[in-house]
Amino acid sequence: MGNSWFESVAEARRRAERILPWPVRDALVAGSEAGLTLDGNRSAFDQIGLVPVIADKPAERHLATRLLGVDLSMPVVVSPTGVQAVHPDGEVAVARAAAARGVAVGLSSFGSKPMEEVVEANPDLFFQMYWINDRDWMAGQMERARAAGARAVILTLDWSFSHSRDWGSPPLPERLDLRTMIRQAPAALSRPTWLWRYLRSGSLPDLTTPNMLTPAQIAGGERAPGFFGAYGQWMGTPPPTWDDLAWFTSEWGGPCMAKGVMTVGDARRAADAGFSAISVSNHGGNNLDGTPSPLRALHHIASEVGDRVEVVLDGGVRRGSDVFKAVALGARVVMIGRAYLWGLAANGQAGVENVLDILRNGLDSALLGSGVPSVAAVDPRHLVVPEGFHLRLGE
């Protein structure tokens, strides 16, 4: 396997942090404000135990499942994340890795590679959108996603622009002009592997967001905004109403997910609005600090609407046993973010494949040790859940 292989997501993170310049590293690692929610997302998994058995274990375990009309080799989907400056191949490398391991890939509107290029690398693409500008613009972005071949869309709703960090936000430039390069040189030169990858690729880090253009804007010769320009469009748009969300599902007319659901009430209304799936998520700890872990809200939400929509868990997943725990509490699939980005930073496409293998092997071990033949048979009886762990929010 060589020195490039790592045996845990924790090791991928350590390697990534040795490679990444500190502004890029800090942008990936940190959550909002004091990081309470960020820490809670991870620690929630540590509070739940597993129930092992010693005999009559299944000789074969079945990990495959299905989400938003797409067959998956295991209940894991690569979550959409913003501009992936941790590696020059970015979302294309991630998409290829996901395709190689039989899972779908999410692509952010704020991603650094065009959706047409990413869907070529992995046809099982879920395109992620924010509520930006107006309905006409949103319809145009859907038109582009539909033409590109996206299998589903994800509308991310768990964001309130609460982004301050107690330890300070890293200085990330939108584009690298000469002045910016000089200012950022000490950080880049201190991590020569990261810099050499970009120089060898013939490019420099660029926070342009090519997926923030509709077909009409492309035809008109408009230039894609940078990350902060796209972010500004989002901040300047009035938040959507439930009527807007019902319009969204109708306009897309296919499988779609509402991301950011944390309450039973919102779960019900998302189902009523026509979403095919919901993601129980708090934006990876980058939204309102103090929001509980999605894992703690999952059981009640899945019990309430699991017969109406597919339920996904997003936040804090680092091990295959985490996947097992989420599925036992009602998730059909988990989405991973930081875990695969650390793999990407550590070793490009192969690093992402490595992370997916770690999760698959860990999930298979959890099934074997628990005596469960398939992910479809996992349920709360296979867990040790402390009293008061489950939270029913939003009644």
Of the candidate ranges 169-178, 276-285, 300-309, 347-356, the one whose mean pLDDT is the lowest: 169-178
Is residue 190 predicted with pLDDT exceeding 80?
Answer: no
Is residue 115 predicted with pLDDT exceeding 80?
Answer: yes
- Residues whose CB falls within 8 Å of the CB of residue 270, separated by 6 or more in sequence, listed in order: 245, 258, 261, 278, 305, 309
363: nearest Cα among 332, 319, 333, 329: 319
- Which pLDDT score is estimated for 196? 84
- Which pLDDT score is estimated for 166? 85
Percent of the chain with pLDDT over 90: 78
The residue-averaged pLDDT of 61-71 equals 98
Phi, psi of 392 (to 5 degrees): -105, 100
Is residue 304 predicted with pLDDT exceeding 70?
Answer: yes
CA atoms of 197 and 87, how far apart (whole Å):
7
How would residue 119 be classed by pLDDT, with cut points 50, 70 and 90?
Answer: very high
Tally of residues, the chain: 395
CATH number at 9-383? 3.20.20.70
Quick check: 119 and 140 in contact, CB under 8 A? no
Write the pLDDT tens digit of every residue in 326-375: 999 999 999 999 999 999 999 999 999 999 999 999 999 999 999 999 99
Of the candidate ranges 269-273, 283-287, 329-333, the one whose mean pLDDT is the lowest: 283-287
- Positions marked active-site: 283
* Alpha-carbon distance values, 121 to 77, 145, 272, 334 (Å): 15, 15, 34, 22
Top-confidence residue, 158 or 115 = 115
CA atoms of 106 and 127, how far apart (whole Å):
6
Quick check: 281 and 290 in contact, CB under 8 A? no
Q: What is the pTM of this model?
A: 0.94
- Which pLDDT score is estimated for 183? 66
Instruction: Return the beta strands (E) in 131-214 as ranges.
Output: 152-156
Would you list the domain boundaries of the chain?
9-383
Other CB atoms closer than 10 Å to residue 246's CB: what's the count? 16
CA atoms of 320 and 65, how far apart (whole Å):
15
Cα 152 from chain centroid? Answer: 15
- Which pLDDT score is estimated for 89? 95
Is residue 1 predicted with pLDDT exceeding 50?
Answer: no
The residue-averaged pLDDT of 163-178 equals 68
